[in-house]
A and B are shown apart, each in its own frame.
Chain A
């Protein structure tokens, strides 16, 4: 081979290598774009809900109330009657079957919506008003264009009468799409239009706080001790190997640990953020210790020597000089460990967080849902409404993870001393 040929070959090899690299990057970006597109196209509609405008006349007679009713009185009114009467005034129906079909256009909670409105605004007694009542899941999906209305009647849950009513409502502009406040305010529900991630949000928040409080200080002290103070011998080598192994242990194993020890032996309350937090803290510990040790190790030894040489003690040299330099790596390692914990599902399933919990937890020992498990639970549901809810929850979870990662990058840049 001549020299020319060899040079040409070398350039070609370089070009090929560049091409492989660009192809891989483009592929990876395509996958991400595809993923985000799928999730957004499915999930974005969950942030809106369909409502039906209903004119209600809160006369004292129809409410069977004395003048100047108390709050208790208002709570005990049969709003079902009131609502159905006002509906029947607008839409003439024949027989109980049609009446039931009519009422099924609404979510089962419409009575409570009317009640809550009146309790909040008692000045509307003896007055007429138009309320936006939440539509049922089927109407919601129909209005969002996700419902196969072309199917024959016996194969859909919406019957022809309801379809006719829906079209009439659309014609009269009585149907609206508004921001879905239930998505953030409510806990889980069997009815998709009433299900929200409020419980999961609070549960995940409690969980991650407990994980942070437990794992961060332990990981920091462990890594500082191991890196700066511990003698280098077989015992510390053994500990180091085990930390690396633990970081690679499948998370479900930590779930089993939580189940076996926290729930069975210590009898901690099942399905709670407390147990979830402890379990995830165990899982996160090695994942924080490893980057912390790496950032401590990256501090040049000359800094330690400089401090020791002016008569600083070992602890002073570590605390005054080494740790401040290791802070950016430590913080970003911690946040990325927490982000992993936030998205973890398998261990939470084992400690019972798959339970159907409607109430929003107020303390970490209340049974609760969590975001990733909520995704898992809803993805198993058959109702169409849960499909968009699943994607919406993923969007919210992803936005938290991305935020956490941005915070990690920001902290790293902020604390990194370039001098």
Chain B
């Protein structure tokens, strides 16, 4: 079950927001085709960390990154890296579902169309259908693809966002607390979906819910105050953590 193929390797990653340092020497390996959960109290840097992987932090003017992140042995913290290509291969799902204010179809077809993944309409139809199927949304929306994506329920919107992310054939999917705005039933559906998706994608998920980390992930990293305290298999972290702080956090003594 535990894979040994390292997909993403970060070394001595330091991130600064202006004067403030948000991440301190993070060294973390993310393995291919499994789910890595990142847990830790609010403000510990887990979101900052995953936003480094697809260079989403570039949007923030004052953010400075140094250190190294290698994806398949290719350095991405480098000005010569084309972030557009990078983000094509690393999809992202956000905390709050953020479908475009367009139709369900257009939400999915946008990515493939700007990257030229479909030669004609029937190709595009195929991509849209497959993406929605992979996101377990096809059955619910197949008859109303031209309706606005924002008209779906919260859970459906989030699956639409997952479908949007996989429409461009990424290798990695980053999820930043994807269930924090959803009810338990919608959350259960997304978790099921994550389980299914890990067969084809490498998934990194930030979560506040430790039970969610246990349910969906094979590996867990614990962040605290911008440092990675401990990373190991999920089983080990939750049954027998190597660090007292991890122990305190997962038993609810702080956080």
Residues of A within 8 A of B (CB): 231-232, 300, 302-313, 316, 320-321, 325, 417, 419
Interface pair A310/B111, CB less than 8 Å apart: yes
Distance to closest chain A CB from B120 (angstroms):
20
Kindly provide the distance from the CB of B62 to the nearest chain A CB, expressed in whole angstroms: 8
Asked if A325 and B59 make an inter-chain contact with CB atoms under 8 angstroms apart, the answer reads no
Q: Does B43 sit within 8 A of A, measured CB to CB?
A: no
How far apart sit A419 and B144, CA to CA, in the bound complex (Å)? 15
Give the chain B neighbours of A308 by CB distance below 8 A: 56, 59, 87
CA distance A307 to B98 in the complex (A): 10
Q: How many B residues touch A, CB cutoff 8 Å?
A: 29
CB-defined contacts of A300 to chain B, threshold 8 Å = 98
Instruction: Encode B91-108 as 1/0 by CB contact (under 8 A) with A.
Output: 110101011110000000
B164 touches A310 (CB 8 A): yes
| Contacts A311-B85, A312-B110, A320-B114 supplied; 15 other A-B pairs, CB < 8 Å | A231-B61, A232-B61, A305-B92, A307-B100, A307-B110, A310-B111, A310-B164, A310-B168, A311-B114, A311-B115, A312-B84, A313-B84, A320-B110, A321-B100, A419-B148
22 contacts between A and B (CB under 8 A): A232-B61, A303-B98, A305-B59, A306-B161, A306-B164, A307-B100, A308-B87, A309-B56, A309-B92, A309-B165, A310-B87, A310-B88, A310-B91, A310-B110, A310-B114, A310-B167, A310-B168, A311-B88, A312-B84, A312-B110, A325-B101, A417-B148
**Which residues of chain B are within 8 angstroms of A231 by Cβ–Cβ distance?**
61
Q: Smallest distance from the beta carbon of B48 to chain A beta carbons, Å?
A: 14
Assembly CA distance A174 to B73 (angstroms): 101
Please state if A306 and B101 are interface contacts (CB–CB under 8 Å): no
Q: Report yes or no: A316 in contact with B99, Cβ–Cβ below 8 A.
A: no
Contacts of B150 in A (CB 8 A): 419
Q: Does B54 contact A (CB under 8 A)?
A: yes
A300 to B100, CA, bound (A): 11
A312 contact set on B, CB distance < 8 A: 84, 110-111, 114
Grouping DSSP codes into helix (H, G, I), strand (E, B) and loop, the B interface class, with mixed when no group exceeds half, is helix
Q: Which of B99-143 contact A (CB under 8 A)?
A: 99-101, 110-111, 114-115
> Is there contact, CB below 8 Å, between A311 and B98?
no
B184: interface (CB < 8 Å): no
- Do A306 and B100 touch across chains, with their CB atoms under 8 A apart? yes
**CB proximity of A309 to chain B, nearest CB, Å:** 4
Is there an interface contact between A302 and B94, defined as CB atoms closer than 8 Å?
yes
Q: Mark B180-209, 1 if CB is under 8 A from A, else 0.
A: 000000000000000000000000000000
B151: CB under 8 A from chain A? yes
In angstroms, how far is the closest chain A Cβ from the Cβ of B84?
5
The docked-state distance in angstroms from the alpha carbon of A316 to that of B150 is 21
- Chain A positions within 8 Å of B61 at CB level: 231-232
Contact partners of B111 in chain A: CB under 8 A: 310-312
Please name the 3 residue pairs, one residue from A and one from B, whose CB atoms are nearest each other, closest first: A310-B111, A302-B98, A419-B148
Contacts of A302 in B (CB 8 A): 94, 96, 98
State how many angstroms separate the Cβ of B36 from the closest Cβ of chain A: 18
A interface footprint on B20-52 (CB within 8 Å = 1, 0 otherwise): 000000000000000000000000000000000
Roughly how many angstroms separate A308 CA and B174 CA in the complex, as a whole number? 13
State in angstroms the CA–CA spacing of A309 and B88 once bound together: 8
Instruction: Contact check, B101 vs A303: say whether CB atoms are below 8 A apart.
Output: yes
Question: For residue B94, which residues in chain A have a CB less than 8 angstroms away from its CB?
Answer: 302, 305-306, 309
Q: Which residue of A lies closest to B99 (CB)?
A: A306
**Contact flag A303-B100 (CB < 8 Å), given A309-B165, A316-B114, A419-B151:** yes
Alpha-carbon gap, A316 to B114, bound state (A): 8
A320 to B151, CA, bound (A): 20
Query: Whose C-beta in chain A lies nearest to the C-beta of B174?
Result: A309
Is A305's CB under 8 angstroms from B56's CB? Answer: yes
Alpha-carbon gap, A305 to B92, bound state (A): 9
Which single residue of chain B is at the shortest CB-CB distance from A300?
A: B98
Contacts of A320 in B (CB 8 A): 110, 114
A148–B96 Cα distance when bound, in Å, is: 76
Q: Cα distance A231–B59 when bound, in Å?
A: 10
User: Closest CB of chain B to A228's CB: distance in Å?
Assistant: 11
Do residues A305 and B84 form an inter-chain contact, with CB atoms below 8 A?
A: no
How far is it, in angstroms, between the C-alpha of A306 and the C-alpha of B98 when the chains are bound? 6
A309 and B101 form a contact (CB under 8 A): no
Which A residues are in CB contact (< 8 Å) with B165? Answer: 309-310
Residue numbers in B under 8 Å from A321 (CB-CB): 100
The answer for the CA separation of A23 and B164 in the assembled complex, in Å, is: 54
Smallest CB separation, A328 vs chain B (Å): 12
User: In the complex, what's the smallest C-beta–C-beta distance from B113 to chain A, in angstroms?
Assistant: 10
Chain A residues whose C-beta falls within 8 Å of the C-beta of B96 in the assembled complex: 302
Interface centre among B86, B110, B115 (most CB of A within 10 A): B110
Question: B87–A309 contact, CB under 8 A?
Answer: yes
CB neighbours of B161 from chain A (8 A): 306
Q: What is the CA–CA distance of A308 and B51 in the complex, to the nearest angstrom?
A: 12
Residue of B nearest to A304 (CB): B59
B92 CB to nearest A CB, Å: 4
Interface residues of B in 44-92 (CB under 8 A from A): 54, 56, 59, 61, 84-88, 91-92
- Complex: A302 Cα to B91 Cα, angstroms: 15
B88, B91, B101 interface centre (most CB from chain A within 10 Å) = B101
- CB-nearest residue of chain B relative to A299? B101
